[in-house]
Structure 1
């Protein structure tokens, strides 16, 4: 949390000063450890060390932030050591998720996905949890359907990103590879080389077939089916469209027996499709959303 956010949360000037002084002392210790005898550090390096401290202590970039006032109730060095131990566990969790993502990856060629997973693997070899815990790989190029929150840092960002990638992979693995490839070729002929998301076009067609009461595993959606979809969705009140798509996502997830995390991902992606659908309906054209195969 920033000073402004802490002030809005009711912190007094004395509390803010105490926390700032404690952080300054801990930063000085970290700078000495990192410099290992050198008399000075570049300003940019000191700023990165401070960002790492704030992340480890839970002041920013965490999925579950620390109560900042808890940092006033004990020596900051003790809190830092405890949070470093907790970070070690989250880092191990992120590595397990990366291994699972590599294993669960669909048998679909895509350069950005290949490069991104390889880049995360290389990142583990240079990740410095002691001094630069907030860092994330700079070469995560694969585009998720639902991006990980940009406010997250370090292992927390990787846990969120890899969990979402795993959800996409588990969904895609429910379908025959040939059917998936047909959808991808219809959506983007160069799906192997371009930075596209593999999950979304497949999920959208599966959702469309679910709305029509058809088996989603086929993925084919004839043009007359798209016209029926347009008629059904156009008849909905504006405020009901998102609920209808989310409910269809829930039905689709149940039919595929998806785990809870993957089901949440599919349902959320389905609901977020509504603005695109709503914008296309007045033109009587869902061709750019649901693919006819």
Structure 2
């Protein structure tokens, strides 16, 4: 039998589910006659014994039964926990030996120990994420680290729902393992975002900030991966032969890139890209195998898009020029405004909030146009110094848009509208006056480069 298992090892691995590892392994073993029906029934009975015990814990021994849906969820949790222990073995042969020779309760007990160790490790990894976090204004990135991941640790139920992934993980990775769930998904996510943060730390934060703005003026509101944008532009710089750790690519660079890549065969193109990727890792002194592999996989992911952009003469979409714009003027197009009914409901919700932090969260999530934001300022749902806190929560471009919108009407000090309009203008003036002169000039300069 051992020889048969060894010969079938890779077939097994291809058939196993990452989400339902234990159950899929059982099915594969039975279908290949490595577990007979009597052994399968024995395992099922042992699982039911564990379920009965867990239901007792769930109801605090007040009842021996629960709804079918709850029982199914607890059973999924039991199987997930057992799967963690089996996955932790060095080989699939060891996992099979355990299933055949050990009681299911033994597997469940040791799976619980693996689970607890993973939770502790993920808490440690999260500290590293916070230590290496990027200084960015991308809301998905900020919310995921500040709220989403902590919410996972707060709500994760290791006993009755170890297979669930609570929390709000909105920020996309360059390569996201969507086949994982529970603590395994969080562990994979944290390890990868640490790698992404460390890569981006090699570059000037202001360059990355501009890179995002030039990718899309609404990049702060988009579900985009910052690392992928950075690695793409640095790949372009490396292909050109630039020595400095800059992400800057100009129009002439793109012309050169097209000239050296447009006639390459698929094999030659791939060899050129992977050679540049290897050079990137050497230049940044990246030697960790997982790190280099992650960079390689990300580059391979974007390679078809590079090829397509060469063919369609649109390399500017993937290798981005830093700076305000090619013409030095940014034409701003406002986002879609909410209909009147929806707008009223949101402003009433804002008005009912007692904490300015909650008002800021609603504004961030619900308003995607400058018009809606300005209308909200004049809707008697924000009061006194709440305006100042909200202005502080805006990014530089949004503040510049407010400056531009007011200056397009009349000078800041002389504009007279409704009482609500006058109030937020006065608070906005107060906020601008609180800034140092350098910052104020920077914001005004940005506003002057916007065409509305």
**TM-score, structure 1 normalization:** 0.91
1:286 to 2:315 alignment = yes
Which secondary structure does the structure 1 equivalent of 2:254 belong to? helix
- Indicate the structure (1 or 2) with the bigger Cα radius of gyration: 2
What is aligned with 2:255? 227
Separation in 1 of the partners of 2:153 and 2:278? 36
Q: CA deviation at 1:72?
A: 2.8
Is the CA contact (8 Å cut-off) linking 2:85 and 2:111 kept in structure 1? no
Displacement of 1:89: 0.9
- The aligned counterpart of 1:44 is 69
d(CA) in 1 for partners of 2:40, 2:268: 46
Give 1:4 shift.
4.1
Match of 2:169 among 140, 161, 167: 140
Q: Distance in 1 between matches of 2:63 and 2:257?
A: 68
Q: Structure 2: how far apart are the matches of 1:134 and 1:171?
A: 31
Q: Residue 95 in 1 paired to residue 95 in 2?
A: no
Q: Structure 1 regions of 5+ residues with no counterpart?
A: none
- 1:87 shift after superposition: 1.4
The reply on whether 1:197 has 2:225 as its aligned counterpart is yes
Gaps of 5+ in 2: 1-20, 323-452
For residues 313 and 28 of structure 2, the distance between their equivalents in structure 1, rounded to whole angstroms, comes to: 47
Q: With structure 2 as the length reference, what TM-score do the two structures score?
A: 0.60
The change in CA–CA distance for 1:60 and 1:235 in structure 2 (over 3 A counts) is: farther
Among 40, 53, 61, the residue aligned to 1:16:
40
- Aligned mates of 2:32, 2:192 — CA distance in 1: 32
| SS of aligned partner of 1:57 | helix
Q: Structure 2: how far apart are the matches of 1:57 and 1:104?
A: 33
CA distance in structure 1 between the aligned counterparts of 2:294 and 2:67, rounded to whole angstroms: 43
In structure 2, which of residues 199, 205, 212 is the aligned counterpart of residue 184 of structure 1? Answer: 212
Deviation at residue 172 of structure 1 after TM alignment? 0.8
Select which of 289, 295, 300 maps to 1:266. 295
Which stretch of structure 1 is more off in the superposition, 14-23 or 40-49?
14-23
Shift of 1:69: 4.4
Q: Structure 2 CA distance, aligned partners of 1:30 and 1:264?
A: 41
* CA deviations over 1:7-35 (Å, ceiling 9, x no partner): 45543442333332322222222222212
Contact 1:204 1:270 in 2 (8 A): yes
How many equivalent residue pairs?
A: 292
Q: Is this contact kept in 2: 1:61–1:154, CA < 8 A?
A: no
Answer 1 or 2: higher relative contact order, Cα 8 Å, separation at least 6. 1
Please state if 1:131 is matched with 2:131: no
Q: Give the Cα separation in 1 of the matches to 2:193 and 2:82.
A: 27
Instruction: Say whether the 8 Å CA contact 1:100–1:166 is kept in structure 2.
Output: yes
Work out whether 1:54 is the aligned partner of 2:54.
no
Instruction: Indicate if the aligned counterparts of 1:52 and 1:134 stay in contact, CA closer than 8 A.
Output: yes
Q: Secondary structure at the match of 1:273?
A: helix
Equivalent in the alignment of 2:306: 277
* 1:60 Cα deviation after fit: 10
